[in-house]
Chains A and B, each alone.
Chain A
């Protein structure tokens, strides 16, 4: 567990300019880069989408820019949003409505709502009512994983989305364009995999909070531009001069939708945790493997198959045949993690209902874990810092939670 760590943001850090750019893209709630894209591509549509996953290659093949929407984090005061949601509903829909009602999403031509929970589901209807001029489409991702049933349905669902966007002015879908978009996605996915591999092997070289920014920035970039950013970052961190810390190696689970404030991630790091893997930005990592782009393959079926066959295990995906938690235990073992931190958004049904099953799997595998809840606008991290620090100390001392 003797690890080394660089100090992010140091002036001689070769990755600093890239991180600064990513930070600007992530925190720019006015979406200026998206406006700029629109100016350069007057015929293209901007398609926002809620977490977790949307088949981005489909949108790019239609000449659209997919833009991931993660609410307002800790950056917006909620004035209007709270009057739309009761106190016992998570925070992301409030800040999303806040941004919508304050016209920050006016640049979007369409918004997609993947089927991950009832809040996002009902938000799709709210959006239709509040902003009828924007196309708002619910995307039913299949929970049946047979290619002939769930795969077929999902293919039709993607076709439906494509037609809806085309009727709003997007380019008609062609096999070639889709194949090319899938190929670009494969390249990006490889770049993410390479970066993640460095982070898992040498967490002192890439902090989770940095990987987070670099990946989340892709939510407002096209695939090629994002891939360049990831590759440039990976090259830059290779130049870093490491420093040694004695950190515990953890995996963070449960934050796949509402995002923790970046300072919360940094708090975990400061508390002595090297986060080898997390699900903060699961959407761009959800497909575990390449999309088949061979010329004899129907690209829409291939995109469907990628989700059906290689979609990552997560709380909003029904786990049919495997043991619950098996994927998490496998990840802990493969990455050589010492433990798991569950970090779910308050009132997040999928994450919180899933958690006891994952905890049970960890118990069976004798893997230590700790858990806390957060909200995207959490401002106090002291309690979490103490909890993570105590967890890290006890794992280091005894290899488990005391």
Chain B
């Protein structure tokens, strides 16, 4: 998600990109001197992150998934994974976990080259992924620091019940917030939290406008490869900050300007010159060959108009917003609503909606070996979506940060054949 540190090849830097880069650099600077400044550090996960609470209590978040993907992009993940496997971690499990543990065992050097501070608290927001639970049990063994667990129930039927919301709110009120206050050494000021939530809402409005811009032809954004840049601030350390409000406002304006100029999205090779295919993508990207992967699409004129991965840290385009009038309830609903916390039928319905709303010509599932949360059931998603929409789907397999599972030639071949088939389809339709 926060890719800016490792982004060598986007040719024209927009104002928003420069902003994001400065935001991230500043955050890692603050982390680097957290032990001197006394600022407390909270490790937590992207889905269900409680950034507003962390921020309102003056603490700094660290997102281990983001460190892992950064390590993947910087070519470090293979070594880290090997380190973890040497220490006894199975080759079968999520590579984010192993990458993180390998990084820790290799000195915990973060993406900017500075050492990350150890956590003062592990905030286990258990949302949408079973591995999270194990991951922080493993980190607790390493850091011997306090952990607070927030169990977020699953949404099997695509709606939030009162029981679910109350369960999460009760945990926040009686366990999570008191523990955070103890670590932070101060009491939560509800007015301050409300201000954070109001700012979150502003940024969320602008992010949704960015997503919805992909309804235009050509789409001014790539909602997957480009989209992972757009979610950087809001899914990580910045939701609820002035900087995030400013970032999303700039991003939205830039995209509106692109629409006015009739421009397509940026790609690793510069602005896209044609929009041949409009695609929807399900599943996380591969990070170790991210730009190669992206080019496989962009060089064929394939633009991703919507994706589900960019909804793992919050599903705003179905209407959710943080709400200062109901602070804890809305935090609970945020956690409950993350994409991977939705039952398979709801995931299919969302993808179906994206295919229709964004007038996609096809959809691709990138199934990653690491992630049962995403991957188990994707072959049924493929069939169901084809059946419901009549739009053909493609299926490719890779991994997040383990380069052993990114078979470039194989993926390229599959994608080429899929796009050829799509071509034939499109020609038939226009004939």
Contacts and interface: CB of A to CB of B under 8 A. Distances in A.
Interface of A: 83-86, 88-89, 93, 115-119, 121-126, 128-130, 137-138, 140, 142-144, 146, 148-150, 152-153, 156-157, 160, 315-316, 318-320, 324, 344, 346-350, 352-357, 359-360, 373
Contact of B175 (A149, A319, A344): A149
A129 B141 CA distance: 40
Interface in B299-339: none
B174 interface: yes
Contacts of A359: 88
A6 B166 CA distance: 55
Contacts of A115: 154
Contact of B93 (A142, A146, A349): A349
Contacts of A93: 376
Contact of B377 (A117, A125, A319): A125
B375 A86 contact: yes
A156 B170 contact: no
Contacts of A142: 151, 167
A345 to B, nearest CB: 9
B93 A353 contact: yes
Interface stretch (B62-70, B130-138, B201-209, B355-363): B130-138
B151 A356 contact: no
A142 to B, nearest CB: 6
Nearest to A128: B345
B88 A138 contact: no
Interface string B346-359: 01100000000000
B246 interface: no
Contact of B344 (A129, A316, A319): A129
Interface of A is mostly: helix
Interface in B117-142: 124, 126, 129-131, 133-135, 137-138, 140-141
- B88, B130, B373 — which one has the most chain A CB atoms within 10 A of its CB? B130
A356 B97 CA distance: 13
Contact of A118 (B88, B92, B130): B130
A153 B367 CA distance: 34
Given A118-B129, A144-B151, 17 more contacts: A86-B369, A86-B378, A121-B130, A121-B154, A122-B344, A123-B377, A129-B348, A138-B154, A138-B343, A149-B170, A315-B134, A324-B140, A349-B130, A353-B138, A355-B88, A356-B88, A356-B89
A121 B133 CA distance: 15
A118 B376 contact: yes
B163 interface: yes
Contacts of A153: 153, 163, 166-167
Contacts of A125: 156, 343-345, 347, 377
A143 B151 contact: yes
A89 to B, nearest CB: 6
- B126, B141, B167 — which one has the most chain A CB atoms within 10 A of its CB? B167
A93 B372 CA distance: 12
B95 to A, nearest CB: 11
Contacts of B384: 129
Contact of A356 (B126, B138, B174, B369): B138
14 contacts: A86-B367, A118-B131, A118-B372, A119-B376, A144-B151, A146-B175, A150-B167, A318-B126, A320-B149, A324-B141, A349-B131, A350-B134, A356-B87, A357-B141
A128 B90 CA distance: 32
B380 interface: yes
A347 B129 CA distance: 15
B151 A150 contact: yes
Contacts of A315: 134
A347 B370 CA distance: 10
Contacts of B253: none
A84 B134 contact: no
A155 to B, nearest CB: 10
B134 A156 contact: no
Contacts of B174: 146, 148-149
B397 interface: yes
A140 B344 contact: no
A119 B372 contact: yes
In the A-B complex, the 10 residue pairs with the smallest Cβ-Cβ separation, listed nearest first, are A125-B344, A353-B134, A143-B151, A138-B156, A352-B90, A122-B377, A118-B372, A122-B376, A153-B167, A118-B373
B424 interface: no
- A124, A149, A346 — which one has the most chain B CB atoms within 10 A of its CB? A149
B379 interface: yes
Given A115-B154, A144-B149, A89 B137 contact: no
Nearest to B380: A126
A357 B88 CA distance: 10
Contacts of A160: 163
B17 interface: no
B324 to A, nearest CB: 25
B156 A352 contact: no
Contact of A85 (B87, B124, B376): B376
A331 B147 CA distance: 26
A344 B380 CA distance: 26
Interface in B373-413: 373, 375-380, 384, 397
- A143, A319, A320, A344 — which one has the most chain B CB atoms within 10 A of its CB? A143
B116 interface: no
B133 A83 contact: no
B167 A143 contact: no
B24 interface: no
Contacts of A140: 153-154
Contacts of A156: 163
B171 interface: yes
- B140, B171, B174 — which one has the most chain A CB atoms within 10 A of its CB? B171
Given A149-B170, A352-B93, A353-B134, A126 B344 contact: yes
Interface in B56-106: 87-90, 92-94, 97
A98 to B, nearest CB: 14
Contacts of B380: 84, 126, 129-130
A166 B166 CA distance: 24
Contacts of A85: 376, 379
A328 to B, nearest CB: 14
B153 A117 contact: no
A130 B133 CA distance: 29
B349 to A, nearest CB: 11
Nearest to A83: B379
Given A144-B151, A157-B163, A350-B130, A89 B376 contact: yes
Nearest to B90: A352
Contacts of A357: 137-138, 141
Nearest to B134: A353
A358 B94 CA distance: 18
B142 to A, nearest CB: 10
A144 B97 CA distance: 23
Interface in B154-204: 154, 156, 163, 166-167, 170-171, 174-175
Given A126-B377, A352-B92, A318 B133 contact: yes
Given A86-B397, A353-B131, A319 B90 contact: no
